[in-house]
Chains A and B, each alone.
Chain A
Amino acid sequence: MEKVRVLSARFDLPDSHTIEVYLRTGGYQALRKALTEMTPEAVIEEVKRSALRGRGGAGFSTGMKWSFVPREADKPKYVIANADESEPGTCKDRVLMEKDPHAVIEGILLAAYAVDAHLAFIYIRGEYWYLKERLERAIEEARERGFVGANILGSGFACEIIVHPGAGAYICGEETALMESLEGKRGYPRIKPPFPAVVGLYGCPTVINNVETLASVPPIILRGGDWFRQLGTEKSGGTRLFAVSGHVARPGVYELPMGYPMKRMIEEECGGIRGGKRLKAVIPGGSSAPILTAEEVEQCTLDFESLAALKSMLGSGAIIVMDEDTDIAQVVYRITKFYEHESCGWCVPCREGTRWMRKLLERLLRGEGRPRDIDLLYELARNIFGTTHCPLGDAAAWAVYPAIEKFRADFEAYVRAPVVSVSAEVSTPRRLAV
């Protein structure tokens, strides 16, 4: 497969974050093209044709999302770039914003033009403060050249961009929690529907996309949706950034075409497993994605369809690689502790379930686990799944029960031999009708 660099094309250039470099390498040409030659509808059509799917986690069609915004609404419309990158394992948006902030800004302007929004926000996690400052500088550079503000390039189209800091809450990466947070409230997810395209920020129609998704739009507009689509697979167009971490020789952020073999990426791009060890497992889409065994990795390609067929997901494109010495029970414990910490507390199955799972895992890892604890943990995870408003509960469950199915021995290693069978202290929970 041809390795074309679309998103990372400028990453190795000196001062790649400046507008001079951006303009020298085709920057803001797509915006000029859209504003002078294309209707907003044509922009949406081109994005639909590209088969671009959300790079934040859910993988929803970007063009479809934009087309859901009602054209005739009498309310203002908003665009939000989701730069809250907090999914464990994920650090690709950070590289993108550091190396090529103008690509994000141009993508935001194109989205705003497509849906007729005149105010856009970049919601960036507070820990990325240096990137907040970098983006603000880039917006000022763009403003000085007439790409941001009133009457952009003399077209009559106006758009302002505000960079808004989050303050340390994973849940605010969920789009409706993000909007609550942007409104100055606690980041509780909203119940959907209505979807943000109709009722979003301040109750107004809102397009919210991950920053990498938005940065993919300028090349699509410039070179065509068909060109972008053929870089990847039929249903997962283009290339994307993969953040590889864990036990590989060369961890890093790599741009690869959708559909690229995962095994080949680990071996060729990342130099294989470090220290000549064997591969044990991969978490393929950030900590929320069900774990894959080494055998599953053999048949896996990096696209939404392949991961879905393996009952996992490509998620945020974070590939966490684990060698043969990894204790999966320890890994699952850390991830479960994370979800317990980040549960917003709104839904009982998530708030109480994540805490209970963490306690069970702690007892297990202390060597005090009972034989039934593994099944209890499994059932508990199954009962959290599908019973919460937002996907955090599902994510917490997905981190646990597939790991028990695939790596049960790692959990059993901690279980004490049963001494006596005592009366049912803990009963297997029944699945409640929901």
Chain B
Amino acid sequence: MGMISAEAEKKIQEIIARYPVKRSALLPVLFVVQQELGYLPDEALEEVARWLDLTFLDVATTVSFYTMFHRRPIGRYHIQICRNVSCYLCGSEAIREHLERRLGIRCGETTADGRFTLSEVECIGACSWAPAMQINFTFYHHLTPERVDEILRSLP
């Protein structure tokens, strides 16, 4: 199909080979594909279905259960601000409002230049260092509006 690089496909085949049941490799394989394409278009799910001897629907209905998979393109930096109780107690709402003002978008939206997507997420396991967010897979703790500005400026 040519969507997935030879290198990624090799990695995918290695992952599949490790599991006693092929379908078990679905989530880790989807992560490799999403890493490669930035999101999971239909064509990619069809390819994944072929690798794992599944139907397109098997894959698509599984994907839709999990919040970390994106069926549409998102920004280069996915800012995920925790809204759960520990972060709320430590002022996460002010951080969210600051981010919305600063980026000119609401949660769930992407900046026009495609640089940032802002999301509110449930507990990310940073409760003792709240308020916290993740940008892609990187954690940022003890947020203040100033610290948020600093972090945004430091991104390449």
Across-interface contacts of A199 in B (CB, < 8 A): none
For B110-136 the 0/1 string (1 means CB < 8 A from A) is 000000000001111111111000100
Q: Is the CB of B67 within 8 A of A169?
A: yes
Number of contacting residues on B, CB 8 A? 39
Q: Is the CB of B67 within 8 A of A88?
A: no
Q: Is the CB of B30 within 8 A of A167?
A: yes
User: Which residues A226-262 have CB closer than 8 A to chain B?
Assistant: 243-247, 251-253
Across-interface contacts of B28 in A (CB, < 8 A): 164-165
CA of A326 to CA of B125 in the docked complex: distance in angstroms? 22
Q: Is the CB of B89 within 8 A of A202?
A: no
User: Which residues A47-98 have CB closer than 8 A to chain B?
Assistant: 76, 85-91, 93-94
Q: Is the CB of B90 within 8 A of A88?
A: no
The listed residue (A125, A165, A166, A202) touching B21 by CB distance below 8 A is: A202
Give A contacts to B, CB under 8 Å: 76, 85-91, 93-94, 119, 125-130, 162, 164-170, 181-187, 202, 243-247, 251-253, 283, 287, 318, 320, 322, 326, 330-331, 334-335, 337-338, 341-342, 344
Question: Is there a chain A Cβ closer than 8 Å to B94's Cβ?
Answer: no
For B16-34 the 0/1 string (1 means CB < 8 A from A) is 0011110111111011000
CA of A185 to CA of B20 in the docked complex: distance in angstroms? 15
In whole Å, how far is B81's beta carbon from the nearest beta carbon of chain A?
A: 13
Q: Is the CB of A182 within 8 A of B122?
A: no
In whole Å, how far is B84's beta carbon from the nearest beta carbon of chain A?
A: 4
Q: What 7 A-B pairs have minimum CB-CB distances, sorted nearest first? A: A184-B26, A168-B67, A167-B66, A168-B68, A184-B23, A245-B86, A245-B127
The listed residue (A127, A162, A181, A184) touching B125 by CB distance below 8 A is: A127
Q: Is the CB of A91 within 8 A of B128?
A: yes
Q: Is the CB of A185 within 8 A of B21?
A: no
Q: Is the CB of B25 within 8 A of A91?
A: no
In whole Å, how far is A332's beta carbon from the nearest beta carbon of chain B?
A: 9
Question: Is there a chain A Cβ closer than 8 Å to B96's Cβ?
Answer: no
Q: Is the CB of A184 within 8 A of B24?
A: yes
CA of A170 to CA of B130 in the docked complex: distance in angstroms? 19
Chain B minimum-CB-distance residue to A248: B128
Q: Is the CB of B89 within 8 A of A129?
A: no
Q: Is the CB of B31 within 8 A of A167?
A: yes
Give B contacts to A, CB under 8 Å: 18-21, 23-28, 30-31, 52, 61-62, 65-69, 83-86, 88-90, 121-130, 134, 137
Secondary structure at the A interface, as helix, strand, loop or mixed, is mixed
Across-interface contacts of A128 in B (CB, < 8 A): 125
Q: Is the CB of B68 within 8 A of A87?
A: no
In whole Å, how far is A5's beta carbon from the nearest beta carbon of chain B?
A: 18
Contact A338:B23 (CB < 8 A) given known A91-B128, A130-B137, A252-B128: no
Across-interface contacts of B18 in A (CB, < 8 A): 162
Across-interface contacts of B137 in A (CB, < 8 A): 127, 129-130
Contact A334:B88 (CB < 8 A) given known A127-B125, A184-B24: yes
Chain B minimum-CB-distance residue to A342: B122
Q: Is the CB of B65 within 8 A of A119?
A: no
CA of A217 to CA of B85 in the docked complex: distance in angstroms? 32
Q: Is the CB of A127 within 8 A of B124?
A: yes
Q: Is the CB of B83 within 8 A of A186?
A: no
Across-interface contacts of A252 in B (CB, < 8 A): 128
Report 11 cross-chain contacts, Cβ distance below 8 Å, ordered by A residue.
A91-B126, A126-B31, A128-B125, A165-B28, A166-B27, A167-B68, A184-B24, A244-B128, A283-B85, A338-B122, A341-B122
Chain B minimum-CB-distance residue to A253: B128
The listed residue (B52, B68, B89) touching A322 by CB distance below 8 A is: B89
Across-interface contacts of B134 in A (CB, < 8 A): 127
Chain A minimum-CB-distance residue to B26: A184
In whole Å, how far is B46's beta carbon from the nearest beta carbon of chain A?
A: 16
Q: Is the CB of A245 within 8 A of B130?
A: yes
Q: Is the CB of B122 within 8 A of A89?
A: no
Contact A169:B66 (CB < 8 A) given known A126-B31, A183-B23, A334-B84: yes
Across-interface contacts of B52 in A (CB, < 8 A): 184
Chain A minimum-CB-distance residue to B87: A245
Across-interface contacts of A87 in B (CB, < 8 A): 123
Chain B minimum-CB-distance residue to A181: B27
In whole Å, how far is B3's beta carbon from the nearest beta carbon of chain A?
A: 20
Chain A minimum-CB-distance residue to B68: A168
